[in-house]
Amino acid sequence: MQAAQRLRIWGVLARRHPSAFLLAAQLLSLLVHPLMDQSLAGRWLFGAVALVVVPLALWVVGRSPLVNWIAWLLAVPAILLTLAGVASGQQDLLVASALLEACLYFYAAGGLIVYMLRDHHVSNDELFAAGATFTLLAWGFAYAYYVCQAWYPGSFTGFEPDRPRRWLELLFLSFTTLSGVGLGDVLPVGAQARALVMLEMLTGVGYLAMVVSRLIGLATLRGAR
């Protein structure tokens, strides 16, 4: 009886705050990513994270005003390519999957932004959506960096400059760039990489100025009322 009641409670929370579940999954995956090395177990763990986060991104898009079938066209091949790349160890499959996942995350982030801007009222789920959108943008650019490094070797440098940047390093670069921190231990040196980094800088500034500040203002107004 208690288990059934807990399931009903989780179901209500999922319907009311889907963005919170996506945000929680993204933040928990940050704790998992350091375990993803070049071993077989690390690759399978990478695929397992995609199997959790990608359906959650689909779920969020389904609740937004965007077209749902576009997200499915991006998500299904991305998951299949990820699993095939992890199982076979073929880098080209993982690069193709990363390209699709980048597009999916940008699409999902756009859906959440439209969802947050479509009215002049702010809900608790929209506050969670602000954090989830930030993580989606960070992951999307990290996958774009991954593709850029595969297509244009030597696009990024840093400590141990003779090797390609690992996935966690590219994700770290994405978070520091999007947030405006810019710690600088991973550096874009190729023209294509620098163009992507400049696009992420512009995205981060625009997101904070246009979306987050608006939500903060509406939340403050709601509290005053």
Kindly report, residue by residue over 196-207, the tens digit of the pLDDT: 999 999 998 888
Q: Which residue has the tokens 């319907």?
A: 15
Where helices occur in the chain by DSSP H, the ranges are 2-16, 18-32, 40-63, 68-88, 91-117, 124-151, 167-179, 191-206, 213-224
Sign of the dihedral defined by the CA atoms of residues 193, 195, 197, 203, in that order: negative
pLDDT at 20 over 90: no
Number of domains in the chain: 1
Helix axes 2-16, 18-32, angle to 10 degrees: 100
Q: How much is the pLDDT for 12?
A: 46
How many Cβ atoms from other residues are within 10 Å of residue 146's Cβ? 25
- CA-closest candidate to residue 85, choices 74, 93, 97: 93
* Residue of higher predicted confidence among 93 and 28: 93
Domain residues for the domain of 61 are: 2-224
Mean pLDDT score across all residues of the chain: 82
The answer to whether 211 and 115 have CB atoms below 8 angstroms apart is: no
Instruction: Please list, residue by residue across 7-28, b when 16 or more beta carbons sit within 10 angstroms of its beta carbon and e when fewer do.
Output: eeeeeeeeeebbbbbbbebbee
Instruction: Kindly tell me if the per-residue pLDDT of 61 is higher than 80.
Output: no
Three-state DSSP at 165 gives: coil
Residue 98 clears pLDDT 60, i.e. is over it: yes
- Mean pLDDT value of segment 151-172: 91
- What confidence score (pLDDT) does residue 41 get? 62
Residue 33: the pLDDT is 75
Q: How confident is the model at residue 138 (pLDDT cuts 50, 70, 90)?
A: very high
69, pLDDT greater than 50: yes
Quote the DSSP letter at residue 34.
G
Is 80 exceeded by the pLDDT of residue 2? no
Is the pLDDT at 10 greater than 50, yes or no? Answer: no
Q: Is the pLDDT of residue 7 over 50?
A: no
